[in-house]
Structure 1
Amino acid sequence: MTGVDQRVVLAPEDGSLGPLLRLADDRLDPHAGYGRHVHRAVDVVAVVLSGSLRHRWAGGAELAAGDVAVLRAGTGLEHDEVAGPDGVRVLQCYLRSADPAAAPAHDVHRAASGWVDLGRDDARLWLGRAAPGESVRVPAGLLVVRGVDGVVVEQQTGRRVTGPGVLLVWQLDTDRPAWARG
């Protein structure tokens, strides 16, 4: 993983955020990649904040700033992601698989804004952007703001957020999974 700077922003190990397992703010140097690796029984939602990213699996996919990719690993897949010529900054959001017995799949939502269809009942993602000084109303849920000073995460009931920043709101079914119950 040369040229990769991964900063884990959130990793609840107690199941308190339902299907949400981890959020990482990743920065990759130009043409750097994660290296081939395996995913199984996880859904990975990648929100490209800046730069570009090539997903190397099956037919592959070119992602640009503003795109959201949803990778459903299901029974398992091996892949890599490689930054474009200007590098990339991407929020990698890991969720327990909605269907671990399903075949792997990959969807790309170009220039995503508003509600993004994740194809699952236990997690919804809202995405918005706020220009410097602009105020944007966000829905209730787990707010993730990627601003100039880093990433802020907070549970909130819906409010106005002033930019600049990329704004994500996760609405999650937080019933604790069976493995997390005592």
Structure 2
Amino acid sequence: MDEGLISRHLVEPYDGSAGPLLRIAEDRLLPGAGYGAHRHADVDVVVVVLSGSLVHGWGGRPTLRAGDVGVLRAGTGLVHDEVAGADGAHLLQTYLRTTTPGQEPGHRVVRWTAGARRGWVDLGRADARLWIARVPDDETVPVPPGLRVVATRDRVWAGPVPSTGEGRVTGPATVCVWQLDRARPLWAVE
């Protein structure tokens, strides 16, 4: 990994207790910093850019900006890098065990638009759903049930939202809710 990366694991249920979920990490990259070329196989990586920008070094080298979601299916394997733009990057990376081992690698970007501040992101899999909301200052939105990751100006946390009431989040914040098939997968360690 390059200098200029701070990574904090928020959720890491390697025992299969969260179905396909392997890890959710909060990453901060200084301008021009990256992860270094690294390999993935048989994992889906879902990146939510909270602020800044990130250039993905595979699949056409798309640039993801705040609010965008990148969905990387590593499939049979690929080597890639991600590098922060001139404004750095603050992002959430979620790793999911693949549903279809041996598939061809692929990458797509779901672009954020001002008209769609909240909603479901189609991940193309039945065992994991992602809902995202970008909540403006002093607005309160209802949040669906599931594993919540909330990012405010000051901090990022996973789990229940403290002191704001069940199912509601007040901005400014970005909220990600993961609904996961919690059936214990075959690969899970007891």
Question: Does 1:165 find its partner at 2:165?
Answer: no
Cα 1:111–1:135 shift into 2, 3 Å = same
CA contact (8 A) 1:73 1:103 kept: yes
> Greater strand percent: which structure?
1
Return 5+ residue gaps in structure 1 as ranges.
none
Question: Does 1:174 find its partner at 2:182?
Answer: yes
Report the TM-score when normalising by structure 1.
0.95
Q: How many Å apart are 1:58 and its aligned residue?
A: 3.1
Question: Deviations 1:97-135 (Å, cap 9, x if unpaired)?
Answer: 121210000010000631000000100000002122210
Report the TM-score when normalising by structure 2.
0.91
Q: How many Å apart are 1:20 and its aligned residue?
A: 0.8
Question: Does 1:24 find its partner at 2:29?
Answer: no
Amino acid at match of 1:82: V
Partner residue in 2 for 1:15 = 16
- 3-state secondary structure, aligned to 1:21: strand
Q: How many Å apart are 1:179 and its aligned residue?
A: 2.9
Amino acid at match of 1:7: R
Q: How many Å apart are 1:18 and its aligned residue?
A: 0.4
- The CA RMSD measured in Å over matched residues stands at 1.7
The alignment-based identity, stated in percent, is 57
Corresponding residue to 2:145 among 137, 140, 146: 140
CA contact (8 A) 1:18 1:172 kept: yes
Amino acid at match of 1:109: V
Partner residue in 1 for 2:3 = 2
- 3-state secondary structure, aligned to 2:187: helix
Return 5+ residue gaps in structure 2 as ranges.
none
Amino acid at match of 2:45: V
Query: Residues of 2 paired with 1:82 and 1:17: CA distance?
Result: 29
CA contact (8 A) 1:22 1:94 kept: yes
Query: Residues of 2 paired with 1:133 and 1:154: CA distance?
Result: 21
Question: Deviations 1:125-165 (Å, cap 9, x if unpaired)?
Answer: 00002122210111111111011231221158x61111221
Cα 1:87–1:135 shift into 2, 3 Å = same
Query: Residues of 1 paired with 2:14 and 2:85: CA distance?
Result: 33
CA contact (8 A) 1:141 1:155 kept: no
